[in-house]
Chain A
Amino acid sequence: MIVISNLHVLVDGKAILRGLDLTINPGEVHAIMGPNGAGKSTLSHVLAGRDGYEVTEGSISYFGKDLLAMEPEERAREGLFLAFQYPVEIPGVANATFLKAAVNAVRRHRGMAELDAMDFLKSAKAKMKALKMDQKFLQRAVNVGFSGGEKKRNEIFQMAMLEPRFAVLDETDSGLDIDALRIVSDGVNSLRGPDRSILMITHYQRLLDYVKPDIVHVLAQGRIVRSGGPELALELEEHGYGDIAQPAA
């Protein structure tokens, strides 16, 4: 279970998150929607442990552990996965090298034997096939020369390899055409399971047509201002953020 309580975060001295509360149970898929500037990406970065975000108040309990006390790599090894809105290009490091290092770091942490090159390739190729990715991607430098859709698919591929307990998808639908959106969504759906929690952060409703959330939240001015079922997303689509995004008086 992930419990975010009263989270306050400053970025460059400016209050971006202002008392955010959110609880996600195992197996649940949550969506956070909100207008630009509401603090959506700040939330994803704070969860992953990026520098430059100052938590001034509140806590994040991650399966009973204090998430905010952990280094970013520890969080990843404990099963937290952030699918980046803007995946980083790493010239000179092959996708296979990168991912094998990641998979084995996680496996070591979990007390599992490291994968050798053969086992890694076998597992990677099977998962690439499911995501309709060319196996040549393994030898290419991480995200270098990838199209927007290829980068997002690569994020989901990494997620499939790392088998997280808690996946945060930051604007994973942005920049995707309809075919790519379907492939990525299929990938996410195939990873749904009773032991995995997923938090989708999105500006638009259309991803939610493909990946059905259990609970939808509206984030505005640094707080969750409304929560509801999937119908809330449709309501937002119809009426916009205008009314809903005003915090209750």
Chain B
Amino acid sequence: MATSPSRRPDAMAANTAIAQAAPQLAGYAALRGRLPGAALPWLGAAREGNIERFAAAGFPSHRLEAWKFTRLSGLADAAPAEGAPEPSTLPAFESIPTAHRLVFVNGRFRGDLSDLGHLPGNVAVIDLAQALAGDDAGWLEPFLAEPFEDRARSLAALNGARADHGLAIRLGAGAVIDPVHIVFAADASAGSFALHPRTVIVAEDGASASVLISHVGRGDGAYWSNPVVQARVGQHAVLRLYKHQDEGAVAHHTAFTSVDLAGHGCFHAATLGLGGQLARDEIAVRLGGPDAECRLGAASLARGRQLLDATWRLSHDHRGGNSSQLFKSVADDMGHVVFQGAVNVAVDAQKTDAQQLCRHLLLSDQAAADTKPELEILADDVKCSHGATIGDLDPASLFYFQARGIGIDQARALLVAAHLREPLDQIEAEPIRNFLLAALGRALGHQVEDASA
């Protein structure tokens, strides 16, 4: 039986993908000449390469294993392609008073809101456009020219083409900076627009940095934030990278973070996920030298109709690596939480120790949680474990509160906060820990005290 080729499902999907990508390609074409570093030939070529990769792949489909639980069709059908307009009002955001602060509002670096203070020696914290305008932009090439080949990371490729703001942090050997607070704020009352921030962090051998990145949106506009962070951590260097995701209520947030660790390098990360109607936070870490350490933590709170997705991939490529993953979530109302945690242990990565724990709390009948641990272990002398639970609050714990006179609502609130705070309690940088605990408290409508005080 003859059927028109255009009616076959594959062809229809391809047509849809082309239609979805078209506005993004047009958006890029309109901006191309005005993007930062447009005069740099290597950057121009890299942008062209990445827009082609995005054009070929389109928005990731849930038929891709990496997007199995998270459907992007709502974004893909109507994704804004325009850059952000000037904000009509300055969105309110909190910041850490003692931090070196860099603020971007609607994709524009705001020197008037930033306060880098006195930077320690051998440390550069610099707005991306400025960095690319300088004479020594070449060190950024390995990052900004990275080709995002994986079809499941086509949105990172789009950022690779479109990135129009962001920053670079560079720590020379042995340099120390603590803490840095980067704020990407959006005034969404201006309507729908796309933000493609790019952050590059390099910690040379023996350096140490604590960095908090806030994504904050205010207003009802359906903007789209598509950040990419790339970090390289040298030998015996430590990068602590924390994230405060508090995008606007109807915003989309699709983040990709990739980290490469040298031998004895150390990467600690924790994310507090609160905002957005859909937020995907993908982190890929390569333990690219012996005895490297990676600790990932996240607390996600999904309410209303929010979907919050954390997708982590750790690659133990060398011996003696140590990694832990702790994911905690609460889904209430019709909230939906996704956790995908993959660990790959290469054949040479003997003596790897990799632990993963995922705990979801479901507080309503219509809330949902998906969890997918993925362990691929090719070495034979390793210690790898994973655990996952999905459940409601423990009735015995609730009764213990009640038996002491504490009402059921307060008991639930305290237990929810207790559940979510664990990954945040592990944050070593005290001002960042307190900042995120306070943000969690505001989200839950009560104070979350610093237990270590």
What residues of chain A have their CB less than 8 Å away from a CB belonging to chain B?
Answer: 48-51, 71-73, 76-77, 82, 84, 87-88, 90-94, 97-99, 101-102, 105-106, 109, 139, 141-142, 158, 162
Contact = CB atoms under 8 A, between A and B. Distances in A.
A158 B421 CA distance: 25
A76 B404 contact: yes
Contacts of A71: 402, 408
Nearest 5 A/B pairs, CB to CB: A92-B418, A76-B405, A102-B404, A72-B402, A88-B400
A150 to B, nearest CB: 16
Contacts of B453: 139
B110 to A, nearest CB: 37
25 contacts: A48-B399, A49-B403, A50-B399, A72-B399, A76-B402, A76-B403, A76-B405, A84-B400, A91-B422, A92-B417, A92-B422, A92-B451, A97-B414, A97-B451, A98-B404, A99-B404, A101-B404, A101-B406, A102-B404, A109-B405, A139-B451, A139-B452, A139-B453, A162-B404, A162-B405
Given A91-B418, A93-B418, A139-B452, A82 B403 contact: yes
Nearest to A88: B400
B452 to A, nearest CB: 7
State which size class the interface on B falls in: 20 to 34
A130 B209 CA distance: 46
Contacts, number: 86
Contacts of A158: 404
A76 B415 CA distance: 19
B313 interface: no
What does DSSP make chain B's interface, helix, strand, loop or mixed? helix
Given A73-B407, A76-B405, A106-B405, A93 B414 contact: yes
Interface in B186-238: none
Contacts of A84: 400, 403
A162 B406 CA distance: 12
A84 to B, nearest CB: 7
B358 to A, nearest CB: 16
Given A51-B399, A92-B415, A92-B419, 5 more contacts: A51-B395, A73-B406, A88-B397, A92-B421, A105-B405
Interface hub of B403, B414, B417, B421 (most chain A Cβ within 10 A):
B403
A139 B155 CA distance: 45
A9 B181 CA distance: 60
B406 A102 contact: yes
B449 interface: yes
A140 to B, nearest CB: 9
Contacts of B425: 92
Interface in B437-453: 449, 451-453
B401 interface: yes
Contacts of B397: 88, 90
B359 to A, nearest CB: 11
A131 to B, nearest CB: 17
B406 A94 contact: no
